[in-house]
Structure 1
Amino acid sequence: MADPLLFEDTFTITSINAQKYDRVSRLTCESSDSSITFTLDVNSELYPCVAGESISMALASTLSLDGKEDTRASWREVSMGDQTLADDYDYVCHGKVYRFEEGSAKDTMAVFVSFGGLLLYLEGAYKKLAPLKIDHVYLLLKK
Structure 2
Amino acid sequence: MKSRNWVVAAGIFLFLATLTSGHGTWHMFALDKEEFCTVVLYQRYDLKYALGSEQIFPLTQKCDASHDMVPGFVNPAVIIFLGLAILCVGVSVSASIRGRRPASTRRTDPPGVWPREAPLGHGAPDRVQRCDGGQPRR
Between structures 1 and 2, the one with greater strand share: 1
Structure 1 or 2, whichever has the larger Rg, is 2
Q: TM-score, with normalisation over the residues of structure 1?
A: 0.20
Between structures 1 and 2, the one with greater helix share: 2
